[in-house]
């Protein structure tokens, strides 16, 4: 190896080492920078309401500092000349290496070139780059570790947030959740059933839009409450409009009662019952009898678990007793018409002395019995339902069983269309339709169509009668669609009210119970001085079994009792106004009514906050509908806002 | 003779010279080395110091160890240029004819001691300008070459200012080094007393003749200098130029004029000599730094502020050396 090669090799190795060292130092610098960045962001986050995303971004940026630092150190490859100068300076080689590199290419240097190279090569041989560039932790490593420790410690320090900020944050979360829930509910409702009426579809669309707006936090709390109240009012108006139709009201009542729940015709129900009966066998196989049998089986299972597994006399005796009991049980099952093959196999296993198999078979027998019991119960329920169903069209219409009535009408149409309808059958049908025309008159034009059908049947116009019956069926369907719309809107209204409570009380969707409800039928209950919706439409149907709670009852279309047009006579004695102050005039004092107080015993089950929110929501609704004179709107708003605070 | 042998010869001569001079001179190693640097580089030296410090003795000793012709000129206010350079005299030939004949002055020697050079008038001082730079004199309309090697070793007294004429800048710039001769230490003074008061006179031998000296001067100039070392010398000189982009802050504050290019030449040449004396074959930053003060101190002109504050050119040079990085492109450690 020539002298210049020795010098160059030494310098190249040193350059590599130095580059690595530089990258190593860069890594620590990166760690320091990243740590400092993270510490700063964490500190900021702990002190100020910086968005949480900034922590993620800061963390990523801090992590990125490490490879960046490493690469920054690694990136610059020192040239061999630079290294020569660096080594000269570091080792006090008096510029021997750098001069040698320079002179090496100068032929004119002559003998001096050899002398310089020889001198420099001697120094290069002595130079050990490992000693000059040892791997050790740079000074900044200490600071980096300190910063990391500080950051870790700071992580345990709880962040400071003002009450206002926390409140606003929670409000936003609640609004987002409420918005999502509203939009989702509406979407599901629309997917399940497309509204028949355009206004309903439009109203539901508005609810969905409002939900989206809330989810995207485009509204503040006050605006959200106002919008919710406004949309709720619109829905209420539409529902009320639908509720004016007596036919729909009747259908709705029937739908709420158990009699209107079945969507099957009596024939279909009977078919199901017969099929179940056939599977069960004997009509005596009632759920009670099966339950008794099951209990006996369970007792036997317990006894069998204690059976000794040997051939002693006592064991033999016990097995005989068990065998006897088993045969009694099998006899009872046979009497009930039940087919339990597992029971017979269990007996065989007992006779063979296979206790484990015996227990297994007993278990299978129990499972079979459970299945039969469930079937018996289902059959009993169907029988009950069957009993409640109207026997003929008139009865079905009377009970508001629209589905069954439609089904019956459909059958009649098919019979009329078929060629082999006997005179007797025609007469019977005529009588049934005639009888149904009176209850049918409760459902708009249904009565007229039925009468028309009777006339045509009397004239022997079978196709005409079938058409009239089809028209009646269509009319019923139309009414049911309208009722479905109303139900959708009511469900949506309940959701909106719950949303108001959530936003008003700053509670999550799952936490909120919705607005406090009136009792059965929405009528004023045992409380005195309650405010209630008296038309029976638009209230919910949840049975209230607890004590009457009158703190949140809605009165959407009513003014205070004091100015009600229903007359003083209808008020409870305790509610008769005794003193009226002021006049209703812009700029004048607020009218107020003093009522005799009635003490309601017991503790309120509604939280103050919820009650206030309900009242505020109601007030908001009244304000948005211009039910409060303009001059008093500010005062009303301030009053309820103050209550909230 | 090969280069290695020449270098060996240089080092041997260097050691012998120092040893011989050391027999007479006590202490003042820096002054002796500086003077020898200048001689091997082919430059002139201005020695400044209070009387009695051995300036003249050093030059006299040098004349003895170097096998060269030596002349001493004592500069006085009435000294005329012709007294230095020589003049035409009317002489009568054997034939009885009278004709002008040039009578050579004391400048016609290899080694000139210009003692107390600042006592002569500027006119007389300037008589040396051509001799120092061109190594020739022009007298009576005729150019006469001086024998090489030619050195002027001048001395001046900094304290006795009355009746003196400070050397003009052009004159100063022609000196390779300006060496400040300081007081000896206690031990040195004791040795001086021992040597000078006991009647024993040290005998010094001739070490180097003119031809050899010229060869060694040629050798010195062949010492390679790396580009970044040259660059350092250049940056040092540029840093002394006030009111320029490259000026060091202290130069802007205290200097009226900076070093001429001769300053840069001096740095490199002196560096080369130093490198050889240190047994190296290349010039280093240390060499440049070591000779910077002697090479630049007489080439910088201080401003009024510096004079008022008592700042010397040595202060300025020291600060410039601190301000200017050795290698502008070196990788940071």
Q: Which of residues 50-79 of A touch B (CB under 8 A)?
A: 78
Residues from chain B contacting residue A119 (CB–CB below 8 Å) = 280-282
pLDDT: which is higher, B262 or B203: B262
Look at residue B85 and tell me if it is in a domain.
no
Mean pLDDT, residues B264-277 = 95
Rg of chain B over Cα atoms, rounded to whole angstroms, equals 21
| A95 to B333: CB separation less than 8 angstroms, yes or no | no
Position A595 confidence tier, pLDDT thresholds 50, 70, 90: low
| pLDDT for the residue numbered B304 | 93
Range scoring the smallest mean pLDDT among A33-42, A108-117, A141-150, A420-429: A420-429
A216 has a pLDDT exceeding 60: yes
CATH code (residue B111): 3.40.50.300
Residues from chain A contacting residue B281 (CB–CB below 8 Å) = 112, 115-116, 119
H or E stretch at B257: strand B255-257
| pLDDT for the residue numbered A243 | 75
Range scoring the smallest mean pLDDT among A54-63, A239-248, A481-490, B272-281: A239-248
Write down the H helix ranges in chain B.
Answer: 3-24, 29-41, 55-65, 81-85, 122-125, 127-134, 169-173, 186-196, 210-221, 227-239, 249-254, 261-277, 285-296, 304-309, 313-323
| B331 to A85: CB separation less than 8 angstroms, yes or no | yes
The Cα A379–Cα A276 span in angstroms is: 6
Position A540 confidence tier, pLDDT thresholds 50, 70, 90: very low
Note whether B152 and B21 are same-domain residues: yes
Note whether B5 and B46 are same-domain residues: yes
| A110 to B3: CB separation less than 8 angstroms, yes or no | yes
- The predicted-structure confidence for A84-117, as pLDDT tens digits, reads as follows 999 998 888 999 999 999 888 887 878 888 899 9
- Tell me whether residue B245 is exposed, middle or buried, using C-beta atoms within 10 angstroms of its C-beta: 0 to 12, 13 to 18, 19 or more: exposed
Q: In what order do the strands lie in the sheet with B44-48?
A: B70-74, B111-115, B151-156, B44-48, B175-180
Query: Is A14 in the B-facing interface, judged by CB distances under 8 Å?
Result: no
| pLDDT for the residue numbered A559 | 47
Cβ count near A2 (within 10 Å): 10
Note whether B146 and B241 are same-domain residues: no
Residues from chain B contacting residue A100 (CB–CB below 8 Å) = 282
| A85 to B228: CB separation less than 8 angstroms, yes or no | yes
Please tell me the distance in Å from B229's CA to the nearest CA on chain A: 8
Note whether B113 and B26 are same-domain residues: yes
| B330 to A89: CB separation less than 8 angstroms, yes or no | yes
Note whether B247 and B216 are same-domain residues: no
Strands B255-257 and B301-302: antiparallel
Residues A19-32: b if buried by 16+ CB within 10 A, e if exposed: bebbbbbbbbbbbb
Range scoring the smallest mean pLDDT among A73-77, A194-198, B79-83: A194-198
Return the residue in B230, B331, B332, B333 with the most chain A beta carbons within 10 A, the one to mutate for interface testing: B331
Look at residue B303 and tell me if it is in a domain.
yes
Mean pLDDT, residues A55-60 = 92
H or E stretch at A450: helix A446-459
| pLDDT for the residue numbered A378 | 84
Which chain A residue has its CA at the smallest distance from B327's CA?
A: A85
| pLDDT for the residue numbered A644 | 63
Which residues sit opposite B143 in a β-bridge?
A: B138
Position A538 confidence tier, pLDDT thresholds 50, 70, 90: very low
Helix (H, G, I), strand (E, B) or coil at B89: strand
Look at residue B24 and tell me if it is in a domain.
yes
Please tell me the distance in Å from A64's CA to the nearest CA on chain B: 25
| pLDDT for the residue numbered A518 | 46
Evaluate the omega torsion of the peptide bond into residue B149 and state whether it is cis, within 30 degrees of 0.
Answer: yes
CATH code (residue B300): 1.10.8.80
Give ipTM to 2 decimals: 0.86
| pLDDT for the residue numbered A38 | 93
Return the residue in A99, A113, A123 with the most chain B beta carbons within 10 A, the one to mutate for interface testing: A99
- The predicted-structure confidence for A238-250, as pLDDT tens digits, reads as follows 888 877 777 777 7
- The predicted-structure confidence for B224-250, as pLDDT tens digits, reads as follows 999 999 999 999 999 999 999 999 999
Note whether B261 and B197 are same-domain residues: no
| B330 to A85: CB separation less than 8 angstroms, yes or no | yes
Which chain A residue has its CA at the smallest distance from B223's CA?
A: A112
Report the alpha-carbon angle A411-A413-A417, nearest 5. Answer: 115
**Cα-to-chain-centroid distance, residue A257:** 28
A503 has a pLDDT exceeding 60: yes
Mean pLDDT, residues A446-467 = 86
A420 has a pLDDT exceeding 80: no
Mean pLDDT, residues A153-179 = 88
Please tell me the distance in Å from A103's CA to the nearest CA on chain B: 8
| pLDDT for the residue numbered A96 | 92
Mean pLDDT, residues A525-551 = 43
| A82 to B333: CB separation less than 8 angstroms, yes or no | no
- Two tokens, residue A118: 């020889």
- Two tokens, residue A275: 């099929």
| pLDDT for the residue numbered A520 | 43
| pLDDT for the residue numbered A99 | 92
User: Are B44 and B172 in contact, with CB atoms under 8 Å apart?
Assistant: no
- The predicted-structure confidence for A255-300, as pLDDT tens digits, reads as follows 666 554 555 666 777 788 888 777 777 777 777 888 888 888 888 8
- The predicted-structure confidence for A196-211, as pLDDT tens digits, reads as follows 788 888 888 888 898 9
Torsion sign, CA atoms A57, A63, A65, A67? negative
Note whether B229 and B206 are same-domain residues: no
The Cα B229–Cα A419 span in angstroms is: 124
Helix (H, G, I), strand (E, B) or coil at B302: strand
Q: How many domains does chain B have?
A: 2
Which chain B residue has its CA at the smallest distance from A101's CA?
A: B226
- The predicted-structure confidence for B141-183, as pLDDT tens digits, reads as follows 888 999 889 999 999 888 767 778 888 888 899 999 999 988 9
User: Of B175, B190, B222, which closes a domain?
Assistant: B222
| pLDDT for the residue numbered A464 | 87
Note whether B183 and B241 are same-domain residues: no
| pLDDT for the residue numbered A265 | 63
Residues from chain A contacting residue B282 (CB–CB below 8 Å) = 94-96, 99-100, 103, 116, 119
Note whether B61 and B154 are same-domain residues: yes
| pLDDT for the residue numbered B270 | 96
Note whether B227 and B169 are same-domain residues: no
Residue from the list B3, B229, B287 with its beta carbon closest to the beta carbon of A112:
B3
The Cα B128–Cα B204 span in angstroms is: 30
- Give the residue numbers in B contacting A (CB under 8 Å), as ranges: 2-4, 7, 222-229, 278, 280-287, 326-327, 329-331, 333
Please tell me the distance in Å from B266's CA to the nearest CA on chain A: 19
Please tell me the distance in Å from A50's CA to the nearest CA on chain B: 40
| pLDDT for the residue numbered A61 | 94
Count interface pairs A-B at CB distance under 8 A.
73
| A95 to B281: CB separation less than 8 angstroms, yes or no | no
Please tell me the distance in Å from B277's CA to the nearest CA on chain A: 14
A607 has a pLDDT exceeding 80: no
Please tell me the distance in Å from B287's CA to the nearest CA on chain A: 9
**Cα-to-chain-centroid distance, residue B133:** 12
Q: Which of residues 408-427 of A touch B (CB under 8 A)?
A: none
Note whether B144 and B238 are same-domain residues: no
Position A528 confidence tier, pLDDT thresholds 50, 70, 90: very low
| pLDDT for the residue numbered A413 | 87
| A89 to B327: CB separation less than 8 angstroms, yes or no | yes
Look at residue B213 and tell me if it is in a domain.
yes
Note whether B272 and B190 are same-domain residues: no
User: Are A531 and A525 in contact, with CB atoms under 8 Å apart?
Assistant: no
**Closest CA relative to residue A118, chosen from A100, A98, A99, A102:** A100
| B3 to A83: CB separation less than 8 angstroms, yes or no | no
- Two tokens, residue A209: 């839009």
- The predicted-structure confidence for A359-377, as pLDDT tens digits, reads as follows 888 888 888 888 888 888 8
**Residue A353 region by backbone torsions, left for phi larger than 0, else alpha for psi between -120 and 50, else beta:** left
User: Of B174, B207, B222, which closes a domain?
Assistant: B222
A533 has a pLDDT exceeding 50: no
Mean pLDDT, residues A486-504 = 85
Residues from chain B contacting residue A95 (CB–CB below 8 Å) = 226, 228-229, 282-285
Please tell me the distance in Å from A169's CA to the nearest CA on chain B: 52
| B331 to A82: CB separation less than 8 angstroms, yes or no | yes
Position A579 confidence tier, pLDDT thresholds 50, 70, 90: low
DSSP state of A589: P
Residue from the list B224, B284, B285 with its beta carbon closest to the beta carbon of A109:
B224
CA dihedral A404, A408, A411, A415 (to 10 degrees): 180
Host domain of residue B189: 1-77+107-222
- Two tokens, residue A316: 């033999």
Q: Which of residues 95-114 of A touch B (CB under 8 A)?
A: 95-96, 98-100, 102-103, 106, 109-113
Helix (H, G, I), strand (E, B) or coil at A94: coil
Residues from chain A contacting residue B330 (CB–CB below 8 Å) = 82, 85-86, 89
Look at residue B164 and tell me if it is in a domain.
yes
| pLDDT for the residue numbered A274 | 81
- Report the percent of chain A where pLDDT is more than 90: 14
A318 has a pLDDT exceeding 70: yes
Position A580 confidence tier, pLDDT thresholds 50, 70, 90: low
Instruction: List the domain boundaries for chain A.
Output: 3-156, 266-388, 398-477, 575-645
């Amino acid at each position: 190896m020539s002298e210049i090669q020795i010098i160059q090799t030494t310098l190249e190795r040193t350059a590599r080492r130095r580059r690595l060292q530089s990258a190593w130092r860069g890594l620590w610098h990166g760690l320091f920078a990243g740590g400092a960045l993270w510490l700063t962001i964490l500190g900021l986050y702990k002190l100020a309401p910086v968005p949480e995303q900034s922590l993620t971004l800061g963390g990523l940026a801090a992590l990125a500092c490490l490879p960046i630092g490493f690469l920054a150190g690694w990136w610059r490859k020192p040239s061999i000349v630079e290294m020569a100068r660096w080594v000269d300076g570091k080792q006090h080689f008096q510029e021997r290496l750098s001069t040698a590199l320079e002179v090496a290419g100068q032929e004119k240097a002559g003998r001096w070139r050899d002398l310089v190279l020889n001198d420099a090569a001697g120094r290069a041989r002595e130079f050990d780059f490992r000693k000059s560039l040892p791997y050790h932790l740079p000074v900044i490593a200490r600071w980096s570790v300190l910063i990391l420790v500080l950051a870790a410690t700071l992580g345990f320090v709880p962040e400071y947030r003002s009450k206002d900020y926390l409140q606003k944050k929670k409000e936003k979360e609640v609004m987002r959740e409420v918005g999502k829930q509203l939009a989702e509910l509406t979407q599901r409702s629309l997917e399940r059933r497309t509204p028949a009426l355009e206004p309903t579809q439009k109203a539901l669309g508005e609810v969905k839009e409002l939900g989206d707006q809330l989810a995207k936090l485009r509204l503040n709390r006050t605006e959200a409450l106002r919008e919710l109240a406004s949309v709720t009012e619109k829905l209420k108006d539409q529902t009320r409009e639908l509720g004016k139709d007596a036919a729909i009201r009747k259908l709705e009542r029937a739908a709420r009662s158990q009699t209107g729940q079945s969507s099957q015709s009596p024939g279909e129900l009977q078919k199901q019952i017969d099929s179940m009966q056939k599977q069960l066998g004997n009509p005596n196989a009632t759920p009670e009898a099966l339950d008794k049998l099951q209990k006996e089986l369970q007792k036997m299972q317990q006894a069998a678990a204690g059976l000794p597994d040997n051939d002693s006399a006592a064991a033999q005796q016990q097995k005989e007793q068990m065998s006897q009991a088993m045969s009694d049980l099998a006899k009872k099952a046979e009497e009930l018409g039940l087919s339990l093959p597992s029971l017979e196999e269990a007996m065989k296993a007992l006779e063979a002395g296979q206790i484990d198999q015996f227990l297994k078979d007993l278990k299978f027998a129990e499972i079979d019995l459970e299945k039969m019991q469930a079937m018996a119960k289902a059959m009993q329920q169907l029988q009950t339902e069957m009993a409640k169903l109207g026997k003929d069209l008139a009865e079905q219409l009377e009970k508001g069983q629209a589905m069954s009535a439609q089904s019956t009408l459909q059958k009649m149409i098919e019979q009329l269309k078929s060629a082999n309808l006997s005179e007797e059958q025609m007469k019977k049908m005529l009588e049934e339709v005639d009888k149904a025309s009176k209850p049918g008159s409760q459902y708009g034009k249904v009565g007229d169509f039925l009468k028309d059908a009777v006339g045509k049947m009397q004239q022997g116009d079978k196709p005409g009668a079938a058409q009239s019956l089809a028209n009646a069926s269509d009319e019923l369907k139309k009414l049911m669609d309208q009722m479905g719309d109303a139900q959708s809107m009511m469900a949506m209204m309940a959701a909106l009210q719950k949303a108001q409570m959530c936003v008003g009380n700053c509670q999550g969707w799952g936490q909120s119970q919705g607005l406090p409800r009136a009792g059965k039928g929405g009528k004023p209950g045992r409380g005195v001085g309650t405010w209630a919706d008296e038309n029976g439409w638009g209230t919910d149907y949840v049975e209230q079994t607890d004590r009457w709670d009158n703190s949140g009852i809605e009165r959407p279309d009513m003014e205070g009792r004091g100015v009600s047009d229903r007359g003083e006579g209808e008020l409870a004695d305790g509610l008769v106004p005794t003193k009226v102050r002021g006049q209703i005039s812009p700029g004048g004092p607020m009218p107020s009514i003093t009522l005799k107080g009635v003490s309601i015993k017991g503790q309120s089950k509604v939280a103050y906050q919820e009650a206030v929110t309900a009242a505020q929501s109601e007030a908001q609704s009244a304000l948005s509908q211009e039910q409060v004179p303009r001059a008093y709107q500010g005062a009303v708003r301030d009053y309820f806002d103050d209550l909230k605070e | 003779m090969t280069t290695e042998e020449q270098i060996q010869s240089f080092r041997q001569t260097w050691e012998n010279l120092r040893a011989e001079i050391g027999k007479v001179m006590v202490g003042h190693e820096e002054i002796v080395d500086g003077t020898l640097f200048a001689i091997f580089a082919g430059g002139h030296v201005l020695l400044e110091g209070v009387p009695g410090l051995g300036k003249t003795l050093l030059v006299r000793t040098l004349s003895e160890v170097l096998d060269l012709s030596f002349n001493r000129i004592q500069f006085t206010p009435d000294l005329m240029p012709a007294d230095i350079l020589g003049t035409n005299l009317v002489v009568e030939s054997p034939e009885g004819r009278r004709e002008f004949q040039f009578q050579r002055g004391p400048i016609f020697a290899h080694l000139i001691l210009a003692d107390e050079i600042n006592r002569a008038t500027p006119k007389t001082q300037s008589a040396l300008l051509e001799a120092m730079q061109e190594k020739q004199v022009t007298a009576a309309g005729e150019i006469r070459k001086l024998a090489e090697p030619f050195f002027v070793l001048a001395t001046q007294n900094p304290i006795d200012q009355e009746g003196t004429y400070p050397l003009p800048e052009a004159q100063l710039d022609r000196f390779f080094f300006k060496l400040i001769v300081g007081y000896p230490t206690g031990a040195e003074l004791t040795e001086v007393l021992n040597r000078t008061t006991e009647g024993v006179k040290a005998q010094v031998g001739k070490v180097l003749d003119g031809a050899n000296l010229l060869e060694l001067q040629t050798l010195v100039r062949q010492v390679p200098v790396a580009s970044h070392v040259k660059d350092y010398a250049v940056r040092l000189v540029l840093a002394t130029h006030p009111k320029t982009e490259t000026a060091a802050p202290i130069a802007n504050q205290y200097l009226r004029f900076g070093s001429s290019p001769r300053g840069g030449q001096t740095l490199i040449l002196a560096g080369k000599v130093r490198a050889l004396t240190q047994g190296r074959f290349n010039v280093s930053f240390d060499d440049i730094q070591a000779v910077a003060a002697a090479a630049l101190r007489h080439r910088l002109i201080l401003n009024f502020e510096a004079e008022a504050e008592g700042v010397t050119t040595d202060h300025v040079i020291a600060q410039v050396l601190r301000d200017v990085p050795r290698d502008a492109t070196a990788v940071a450690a």
